Amino acid sequence: MYTQALDSLGKDCLPAGSTQGSALEARFQARVDADEKIEPKDWMPDAYRQTLIRQISQHAHSEIVGMLPEGNWITRAPTLRRKAVLIAKVQDEGGHGMYLYSAAETLGISRQQMIEQLLAGTAKYSSIFNYPTLTWADVGAVGWLVDGAAIMNQIPICRCSYGPYARAMVRICREESFHQRQGFEIMLALARGSAEQRQMAQDALNRWWWPSIMMFGPSDTQSKHTAQSMRWKIKRFTNDELRQKFIDITAPQAEFLGLKIPDPQLHRDEGSEHYRFGTIDWSEFQAVLQGNGPCNRERLEARRHAHAEGGWVREAAAAHAEKQRARAAQAA
Amino acid sequence: MSAANAADEMKGQSLNAQLSNDARLRYVLRLGDTSLVLGQRLGEWVGHSPALEEDLGLANLALDLVGQARLLLSYAAEIEGKGRDEDALAFFRDAPQFTNLTLAEQPNGDFAQTLVRQFLLDAWQLEIYEGLASSSDTRLAAIAAKAVKETRYHFRFSSGWLIRLGDGTEESHRRAQNALEGIWRFTDELFVADEVDEQVAAAGIAPRLADLQPRWSAHIDEVLGGATLQRPASIPYPWHGKRGVHTEHLGHMLTEMQHLQRTYPGAQW
Amino acid sequence: MTQDWPLFEVFIRSRSGLEHKHVGSVHASDARMAIEHARDVYTRRQEGVSLWVVRSSDIMASDPAEADALFEPARDKVYRHPTFYAIPDEVKNL
């Protein structure tokens, strides 16, 4: 679904001065500049590797944690068609998490290590998933806004310099194309429904709008790592560029639904043809990022519980495979 | 033949057709409800499975089952002819009107309980759908032809897991055996035919349950053998889920499943 | 904490007549499970008609550092390509 990643990187992800002048590094940068893909066994600067590991694993964690808020409505979907669509969508998020964990594994980290980091609370995931899905309309709003923002972010990553990540993203983007549409379709049904349903849709938009536009990360003036990531072609557009693009696309969609975006300052600037919007409350973003959002505890707890409860199952399968191997060896 | 006789004859035929139509409706509903209830249960797992890959696997089973339920309930609604559709049947019937097998509604419990329940029902659905492929009811035969492919995979999936759990660690063996002991008592219902089963079998609509039992039993024994699990001694209890008499679990499941439709009657989603 | 199940690489034949192509990887405890996981993860949208899985640790790969030695020497052997040969246009079926 989405990574907001880059702006929460640590110091170790900045290139070390000593290697910057090295011939290897110069050759690496030349390949990146020539739009060649970097593949797993190729030489790469350690900072590049660490940046990718962190970004891809955060992205993978986001997919996995992102299964929870929507999965919350699988048993309560209002029609059988909606139920099937929602299961397929949440399943896709799981698949996307898997593609991404696989891509990260090519960089020399195991899935187990990444999961441990997530469960220990040391790895980040997109803070959008720390908001609750309180009504059915939230499932629509998540598909429309959160997946919409995600797609905006992900399409440029399809051209990322690291081959396995780029290939995973191509697959993900292809599969995600139905996610946003199904979300909008849910919102449309509600907007055209009863007064209660319209209220439900408006309430969901009210709660998801600001968190969605925060998904693009801090403003460019605050974002320290954008320049390096753009040089490495891990990132192709700045946070503010993508945010603006998202708002420009989404505002008319809200109008079509007859819903009001909860920003009194939002208006179309005739000169630039862009929508101007109000000030983002970054203190809320920081609070959620620091673990103090409405559902941070529940989300991590759900992941920990599933992992702990599944331990004996994973062990059983491994033990069975071992027995099979031993039997085959004995028979031979 | 006099006009009066012909009229009598037609009345007799339509009475017969009516009787068999009733049985047909109830039979199709039973199949549809069993798939729906089982699919609903599997949906509870998505996002909480023992491994990421299993989340995808269980979701695939759930999607197949919800898909089967939609086809079967839509067909049931047509047979009924009262203007209802799949959703009216799924969301506006109470537990006593649900006619799924009691086994399908049993709670997920741990992964072993879910997989044992799945395995027993996969083996049953496999026999049913294979039998229905030659049904005199072409609509049902077509639904079964699609479902049987899905069910073959379900059986492969669940029997593979049963073998891994049974022949895995001490703990997994214990859990799998416990799960089997716990829900084996619901298996009698799978093959006890009532008047509905007899009528649809007589009309060539569905296979005779008694004919399916030996093959089901052989499948079960083969996998249990590979899993080093003991087949529990049969403890017959006359469960009647397919006649609407359920365990306490179904009511709670429906409360959750039907919540939106019940709270906002008449709304379109 | 338990170890990850082993990693398998997944190859899919997308249509009959085409070769298998690498698509990604799955973790699985055994080959049977690897096929199931590959099916459940990589063929949700009818992407394939046949699957191969192979343990990632069984794949031998060439070393990028040797790429020059392995692949550069083929570069000047242009006579291996039909376009190397100049044949008058009037001559057909060559």
ipTM: 0.94
By three-state DSSP, how is residue A231 classified?
A: helix
By three-state DSSP, how is residue C94 classified?
A: coil
The 3-state DSSP composition of chain B as helix, strand, coil percent (nearest 5) reads 75, 0, 25
By three-state DSSP, how is residue A175 classified?
A: helix
The pair of three-digit structure tokens given for residue B140, joined into one six-digit string? 């049902």
The residue ranges of every structural domain in chain C are: 2-60
User: How many other C-beta atoms lie within 10 A of the C-beta of residue C86?
Assistant: 5
The residues that bridge with B174 in the sheet, in sequence order, are: none
Rounded average pLDDT over B123-129: 98
Whole-angstrom distance, CA of residue B7 vs CA of residue A98:
67
User: How many helices, marked H, and strands, marked E, lie in chain A?
Assistant: 13, 2
The pair of three-digit structure tokens given for residue B182, joined into one six-digit string? 């716990």
The pLDDT confidence band at residue B17, using thresholds 50, 70 and 90, is low
Rounded average pLDDT over B54-64: 97
| pLDDT for B8 | 59
Render the burial of A133-163: b for 16+ CB within 10 Å, e for the rest.
Answer: bebbbbbbbbbbbbbbbbbbbbbbbbebbbb
- B21 and A CB contact within 8 Å: no
Whole-angstrom distance, CA of residue B236 vs CA of residue A233:
67
Low-confidence ranges of chain C (pLDDT < 50): 1
| pLDDT for C1 | 46
Q: What are B187-224's pLDDT values in tens digits? A: 999 999 999 999 999 999 999 999 999 999 999 999 99
**CB atoms C37 and B157 under 8 Å:** no
Considering only CA atoms, which of A160, A130, A148 is closest in space to residue A216? Answer: A148
> Do residues B163 and A323 lie in contact, with contact meaning Cβ atoms separated by under 8 Å?
no
Q: Which residues of B touch C39 (CB under 8 A)?
A: 153
Query: To the nearest whole angstrom, how far is the Cα of C86 from the nearest Cα of chain A?
Result: 34
Whole-angstrom distance, CA of residue B216 vs CA of residue B207:
13
List the subunits that have 3+ CB pairs under 8 angstroms with A.
Answer: B, C
| pLDDT for C2 | 62
**CB atoms C64 and A175 under 8 Å:** no
Considering only CA atoms, which of A212, A93, A56, A59 is closest in space to residue B47? Answer: A93
| pLDDT for C24 | 93
Element holding B107 (H helix, E strand): none
Low-confidence ranges of chain A (pLDDT < 50): 1-16, 19-20
Lowest mean pLDDT, pick from A124-138, B58-72, B187-201, B227-241: B227-241
By three-state DSSP, how is residue B240 classified?
A: strand
User: How many helices, marked H, and strands, marked E, lie in chain C?
Assistant: 2, 3
| pLDDT for B7 | 61
**Domain C2-60, CATH:** 3.10.20.520
With 60 as the cut, is the pLDDT of residue B263 above it?
yes
| pLDDT for A7 | 38
Whole-angstrom distance, CA of residue C82 vs CA of residue B72:
61
Distance between first and last Cα of chain C: 66
Of all residues in chain A, the percent with pLDDT exceeding 70 is: 93
List the subunits that have 3+ CB pairs under 8 angstroms with B.
Answer: A, C
> Do residues B99 and B241 lie in contact, with contact meaning Cβ atoms separated by under 8 Å?
yes
Chain-centre distance for alpha carbon C77: 25
Whole-angstrom distance, CA of residue A127 vs CA of residue A212:
10
| pLDDT for A32 | 95
| pLDDT for A10 | 41
Whole-angstrom distance, CA of residue C60 vs CA of residue C39:
24
CA triplet A84, A88, A94: central angle to 5 degrees?
150
Amino acid identity for residue C87 in this structure: I
Rounded average pLDDT over B22-32: 97
- pTM for this prediction: 0.93
Query: To the nearest whole angstrom, how far is the Cα of C4 from the nearest Cα of chain A?
Result: 6
> Do residues A149 and A246 lie in contact, with contact meaning Cβ atoms separated by under 8 Å?
yes
Whole-angstrom distance, CA of residue B260 vs CA of residue C49:
40
SS3 per-residue string spanning B48-83: CCCCHHHHHHHHHHHHHHHHHHHHHHHHHHHHHCCC
For residue B158, give Cα distances in angstroms to A157, B34, B147, B166.
Answer: 38, 17, 16, 12
The CATH class given to the B15-263 domain equals mainly alpha
With 70 as the cut, is the pLDDT of residue B12 above it?
no
| pLDDT for B14 | 59
Dihedral through CA A165, CA A167, CA A168, CA A170, nearest 10?
120
| pLDDT for A5 | 37
Optimal mutation site among C3, C10, C25, C33, interface B, most CBs of chain B within 10 A: C33
Considering only CA atoms, which of B70, B245, B265 is closest in space to residue B150? Answer: B70
The pLDDT confidence band at residue B9, using thresholds 50, 70 and 90, is low
> Do residues A145 and A250 lie in contact, with contact meaning Cβ atoms separated by under 8 Å?
yes
Indicate the average pLDDT of chain B.
Answer: 94
The residue ranges of every structural domain in chain B are: 15-263
Residues 86-125 of A with CB under 8 A from B: 87-88, 90-91, 94-95, 97-98, 101
